[in-house]
Structure 1
Amino acid sequence: MAVPIPFSEPPYLCGLPSPYYTPELRKWQKACKAFIGEHLTPFAMEWETEETVPEHLFEVFSKNHMLIPALPAPLPVKELKACGIHDILGAVKVEDFTYFHNLIYNDEMARSGLAGPGGSITTGMAFGVPCLLKFASKELKDKYLPDLFWGRTRTCIAITEPDAGSDVANIRTEAKKSSDGKKYIINGAKKWITNGIWSDYAPMAVRTGGPGGGGLSLLWVPLKNYPGVTMRRLKVSGQISAGTTYIELDDVEVPAENLIGQEGMGMRYIMTNFNHERLTIAASATRQARVALSAAFEYCLKREAFGKPLMEQPVVRHRLAKAGSILESHWAWVEQFVYQMTQLPKAVADVELGGLTAACKANAAHVFKECADTAALLFGGNGYTRTGQGAIAEKMWREVHGIRVPGGSEDVMLDLMVRQLVKNFQRKTKELEKEGAAKL
């Protein structure tokens, strides 16, 4: 077995001890790596260059239940078993799945360094299905979940609009009840919707009431070939194969029973999956940073300039060290978050970790940018060329902003962290004061 290039693997995969990774988790990592290494990783660069993935990829992952690990942990055991899904790859039972399994899965899905090919098949399961799972009526869940779990249908999450990105409360797409109350009629547009072009349905944020977050609801909306729905792919800088889509809705009629949960609760429903979405992005981006930095490290060992290998230049070593130190520090933070998610009840984690998870996602983008910049600079002209030995550095550099913006724009995430910390501090201070007063 080859010795890992420095920074190419998490410490636990380099033979270093870890308190987190049990033999069961290591078994899962090997199974994930083998499956993804057979069906995705070797072809990712080719598919990203072609700007799409073949249809069979989604089918292969679905058949082997390898979309299920994209869901938040713990998995919906009752619903999965009712559909005949009891384990994943024979390596983990659905009832034993934790956020560490999810972390390992996301790490392996990004092993190619490219987010597009993996995101092309997992985004709907990771970010679209949870809304249905948590808040939809039994009738809606019974009708749609089995086909989603088995990959017979596909979904995305349709929130962002041309004029409302991180400002979710400013969504304008409108859903009005018909006079007989039997359907909603939707008008508006959604933009930058990953996977939209391939999706049969989407949980969609719509305005059913007044301004602000309190006027938002979630509807389960048919997309592909549905009357009044027009979809077209958008040309984006990176993650091209993930199918970023513009969706227009012109008098789209949706049955009233497709309301997810209650009217006016859409903002709250959307927010409950933000921790999962941002932690998923943070884990994937950290692997992308690894791929970029380790590729640069390997290149510097063999590339000669001024009569000696680049690695013998102190300025080169300094640049690698600077990027590597923040990379490994960030990975330790991600692992810490995952551990906390496995220990805290969901409701507590949402409050205690919400702002910090937003910051972790933003920091992942900082780390990725530093590692991608380092790779592009150290590869020199090769890192500015779309083909050849520096192609991975060039492609990944163009993906950096696909981490900094989606899932909550970077500045919004950092501001959210501080506001959440202030809010929690003030709440806990008041609780402590009440407790002291009660004792007196």
Structure 2
Amino acid sequence: MAYNSPNPIPFSEPPYIRGLPSPYITPAHRRFQQACRKFATENLIQHALEWEREGTVPEHVFHTFCKHNMLLPNMPAPLPVDWLKRLGINDILGVKVEDWDYIYTGIYCDEMARSGLSGPSGSLNAGFAFGIAPIYKFGSTQLQERFLPELLTGKKRGCIAITEPEAGSDVANITTTAVKSADGQHYILNGSKKWITNGIWSDYATMAVRTGGPGAAGLSVLVVPLKGHPGVSMRRLKVSGQITGGTTYIELDDVKVPVSNIIGKEGDGMRIIMTNFNHERLVISVGVTRQARVALSAAFSYCLKREAFGKTLMDQPVVRHRLAKAGAELESMWAWVEQILYQLVHLSKEEGDRQLGGLTALAKAKSAMVLNECAQTAVLLFGGNGFTKTGQGELVEAILRDVPGARIPGGSEDVLLDLSIRQLVKLYQAEEKKLSQSAKI
């Protein structure tokens, strides 16, 4: 199997893989891309559609990825180098952990989505991508010592648990309560979490709870034991796409959690959650853009060989028009994502959050729109085959069912469109204030 030969079908690969010059990709990045493609193809991509049909990725796949440090790239860059080296983890497929940057993250997320399906990779990565970072960024030394060694090495699995039946994008209205016990040693949790990716097989959840009054100021984040813990019940939810992702409903009935499991301080919850969202939205944008690439290139290939009315579909002007419109959206989206990844490499964490938080929210929303355009185009051009869960159109049919999973999680589309403009207005007002003050001097 050739892992490093670029696919000649138009729209099938990012420009740098097709051999075009890139201002972002170094020879080291390219070496990692080639190694990552080989590893992901052998251990995930070639089986992804089969596992999606079956509904579950075998557990051994998670352990294989952990053995080779290949879930660590899901975490925000830079990586927690001190912790990784303490655990004997020095590199990821030859890239030193201290050299890891967001360009590597983008390459990894792009390669992991090459099956065109978000479920198989999502079955592995949610804990690493979203659940671990709050512990090492905001947790006490003692909390880190208790949880990071097993979570970073995959001996225990985690997830992020924020969304509830009545509170998704509206994080400030979370109702799961965490009330201190009479002796002050435990929080007693009551409530439920819904649509939690990977929850069903997670040992722990990094969970948003209400420790105080109403609104954002009353939120905190706890590390909550799940599997086998008294008072916790979990069941998988049947969803239309991302079938292998392990989407879970979690019920909490007088669940005792040590007070020492708090991340940061009481009332820090909204700040921790919002900081985490920027990374979540960025990696979703990368993966979703690759899904769009898979759908559109599959349609392009099909149109070159499928005949109708005495000629191939590609000979029909209306078909070329559809492919062109979707292709322009796709390549524009990829250029924007690469730009954001590069900017994050060269900005401080604080400045990156300030300058790019709103734009990252907008990019996530736009990437899902692009996926919708490319997936709809592919299904229409495949015709009846695109409406069938088997045969030539099976993959594009599955990708189209994944579209809501891109448009809703991580902040639903309309919420993010609004958020992005509000953030940009804040930036404008801050810069305008600076200009007016400097003019007075």
Query: Do the two structures share a fold, i.e. TM-score over 0.5?
Result: yes
2:171 matched residue in structure 1: 168
* Structure-2 separation of matches of 1:305 and 1:267: 56
Question: What is the CA distance between 1:296 and its match in structure 2?
Answer: 0.3
Q: Give the Cα–Cα distance (whole angstroms) in 2 for the partners of residues 40 and 60 of structure 1.
A: 10
Q: Match for residue 12 of structure 1?
A: 16
Counterpart for residue 383 of structure 2: 380
Name the CA distance, whole Å, in 2 between partners of 1:3 and 1:365: 24
- Paired with 2:40 and 2:13, the residues of 1 have a C-alpha distance of 16
2:29 paired residue number? 25
One-letter amino acid of the structure 2 residue matched with residue 7 of structure 1: F
What is the rounded CA distance, in whole Å, between the counterparts of 1:392 and 1:35 in structure 2? 22
- Give deviations 1:271-315, integer Å, cap 9, x for gaps: 111111000000000000000000000000000000010000000
Work out whether residues 232 and 250 of structure 2, in 8 Å CA contact, stay in contact via their aligned partners in 1: yes
Output the amino acid matched with 2:422. Answer: R
User: How many angstroms does 1:133 deviate by?
Assistant: 1.1
Map of 1:25-174 to 2, 5 A cutoff?
25-89=29-93, 91-174=94-177
Q: Contact (CA 8 Å) 2:289, 2:367: kept in 1 or not?
A: yes
Match of 1:219 among 218, 222, 227: 222
> Is 1:256 equivalent to 2:259 in the alignment?
yes
Q: Secondary structure at the match of 2:190?
A: strand
Task: Find the residue that maps to 2:257 and give its secondary structure.
Answer: strand
Question: 1:227-247: per-residue Cα shift (whole Å, max 9, x none)?
Answer: 000000000010010000000
C-alpha distance in 1 between matches for 2:55 and 2:98: 36
- For residue 157 of structure 1, give the secondary structure of its aligned residue in structure 2: strand
For residues 424-439 of structure 1, the aligned pairs below 5 Å read 424-437=427-440, 439=441
Instruction: State the SS of the aligned residue for 1:254.
Output: strand
One-letter amino acid matched to 2:329: I
User: Residue in 1 aligned with 2:395?
Assistant: 392
Equivalent-residue separation in structure 1 for 2:219 and 2:36 (angstroms): 38
Give me the whole-angstrom Cα distance separating, in 2, the residues matched to 1:354 and 1:149.
26
1:103-157 Cα distance to aligned partner (Å, 9 max, x none)? 0000000000000000100111000001111011111101111111111000000
Q: Give the counterpart letter for 1:44 in structure 2.
A: A
The amino acid across from 1:244 in the alignment is T
Distance (Å, rounded) in 2 between the aligned partners of 1:3 and 1:345: 36
Residue by residue over 1:174-201, the C-alpha shift from the partner in whole angstroms, topping out at 9 and shown as x without a partner, is 0000111100000000000000001000
Q: 2:318 aligns with which of 311, 315, 320?
A: 315
Mapping of 1:261-300 within 5 angstroms?
A: 261-300=264-303
CA distance in 1, matches of 2:189, 2:282: 32
Gaps of 5+ in 2: none
Q: Match of 2:22, SS? A: coil
Taking the aligned partners of 2:417 and 2:272, their CA distance within structure 1 comes to 22
**How far 1:433 moved relative to its partner?**
1.3
Question: What secondary structure, in the 3-state scheme, does the structure 2 residue paired with 1:30 have?
Answer: helix
Give % identity. 65
- The 5 A counterparts of 1:351-362 are 351-362=354-365
Q: Distance in 1 between matches of 2:330 and 2:7?
A: 19
1:337-382 superposed Cα distances (whole Å, 9 cap, x missing partner): 0011011100111111111100000000010000000000000000
- 1:436 is displaced (CA, Å) by 1.9
- Cα distance in 2, alignment partners of residues 105 and 18 from structure 1: 17
- Structure 1 residue 435 displacement after superposition: 2.0
Confirm or deny: 8 A CA contact 2:6 2:17 kept in the other structure. no
What is the identity, as a one-letter code, of the residue corresponding to 1:51?
A: G
Partners of 1:272 and 1:337 in 2: how far apart? 16
Bigger drift between 229-238 and 2-11 goes to 2-11
Match of 1:191 in 2: 194
The corresponding residue for 2:339 is 336
Q: CA deviation at 1:55?
A: 0.7
What secondary structure sits across from 1:408 in the alignment?
coil
Deviation at 1:432, TM superposition (A): 1.6
CA distance in 1, matches of 2:348, 2:256: 38
Q: In structure 2, give the amino acid aligned to 1:83.
A: L
Aligned to 1:421: 424
Q: 2-side partners of 1:203 and 1:56: how far apart?
A: 24
CA RMSD of aligned residues (A): 0.7
- Unaligned ranges ≥5, structure 1: none
Give the drift of 1:2. Answer: 6.5
- Aligned partners of 1:356 and 1:381: how far apart in 2? 38
Aligned to 1:235: 238
Cα offset for 1:57? 0.4
Q: Equivalent residue of 1:339, what SS?
A: helix
Residue equivalent to 2:348? 345
Report the secondary structure of 2:17's partner residue: helix
Hey, what's the Cα distance between the residues in 2 that align with 1:379 and 1:134?
47
Q: Say whether the 8 Å CA contact 2:202–2:226 is kept in structure 1.
A: yes
